[in-house]
Amino acid sequence: MGSIPPLPGIASRMVETPRLRQHVLLKGPPEGVPVLFVHGNASSSTFWEETMLALPGGYQAIAPDLRGYGDTEDQPVDASRGCRDWVDDLLALMDVLGHSRFHLVGHSLGGSVVWALLAVAPERVLTATVVAPGSPFGFGGTKDLQGRPCASDFAGSGAGLVNPEFARLMAEGYRGEDHPAAPRVVMNRFYWKPPFRHPREEALLSGVLSEKVGPNKYPGDALPSPYWPGVAPGRWGPANALSPKYVGDTVERMLRSPSKPPVLWVRGADDEIVSDASLFEPGNLGRLGVVPGWPGAEVYPPQPMVGQTRYVLERYSAAGGFYQEEVFPDTGHSPHIERPAWFGRLLHTHLQRVG
């Protein structure tokens, strides 16, 4: 069993794969239609528990802790592969569990993993659901809908964006809220729209604190840059894996593939993490005067994250795919947690698009 006791009805299991020993939450019959849930950054599988319990009969919910998170074996994330370490881990897990095809659901960083998996192995995906996903072009450092970089070294993306105090307090397992960078404060301020507080706040906070912090772990290494804001992504860790430097041909492979699972895109109207005016992205923070020396909108505009996702999905649709966008009003970065009944209805309908 993992370190966070699961809700009744959910089983906790360690699964050995050829790649690593992975902690997994399970609900439903092993012969059920598999639904793979992928959590976000500074998070863990426990963030999916209510969604798993709400699945109709006939499905098996599978929610692993990703490499670098939760109770999964502590292995580094090679950011130079983008999200491929996670993708390969998940495909190996589903092989061991005996599932050749599955529904796929990802939140935030997990949504970025969904994009990468749709590029690598779309034929294995029945349907895809992305909840407040990172842009298909990566997080930070791009200037337009086509994902062109603001600087040649992708300055302003990767581990250098992470508040070091947040990482320090996470490593200490700090559970208080008298520091502005405290994990509890960040969770309740940005993961959902205040004044929302989750009834399982302590369990979710434990999930946040379960991320592995340290050299070659979270947030990862950073390199100096001659371009504003002076820092570029390194090679290791989850934050660097999300940099557009390492996205590669993910978008083009998604668009070229003859296999295009239907995509449900769900987001909160008041999301401040993934938005066209993100409070975690240097272009917008520079525009607001939070990060000094901003070179202006022509050189480094706020990244149009939502616009980029819509641009890619419109091209996906034009190339023979299907997508549905749903925007939840008065909702932040976690629609599945803030509006579980609404999200559940959408998800369950989407799962039925494919037998």
Using one digit for the tens of pLDDT, what is the confidence trace for 79-130?
999 999 999 999 999 999 999 999 999 999 999 999 999 999 999 999 999 9
Give the count of beta carbons closer than 10 Å to the beta carbon of residue 51: 22
CATH number at residue 107: 3.40.50.1820
> Does any domain span residue 5?
no
Q: Quote the domain boundaries for residue 114.
A: 11-351
Number of folded domains in the chain? 1
> Does any domain span residue 272?
yes
Which residue type sits at 196? F
Average pLDDT of the residues in 4-30: 97
Average pLDDT of the residues in 261-267: 98
pLDDT band at 215 (very low <50, low <70, confident <90, very high): confident
Query: Of all residues in the chain, what percent carry a pLDDT higher than 70?
Result: 100
CA distances (Å), 291 to each of 15, 139, 226, 279, 285, in order?
44, 17, 16, 11, 6
> Does any domain span residue 107?
yes
> Does any domain span residue 206?
yes
pLDDT band at 332 (very low <50, low <70, confident <90, very high): very high
Spatial distance between the Cα atoms of 218 and 241, rounded to a whole number of angstroms = 11
Contact predicate 104/239, CB 8 Å:
no
CA distances (Å), 112 to each of 71, 82, 153, 288, in order?
21, 9, 21, 26
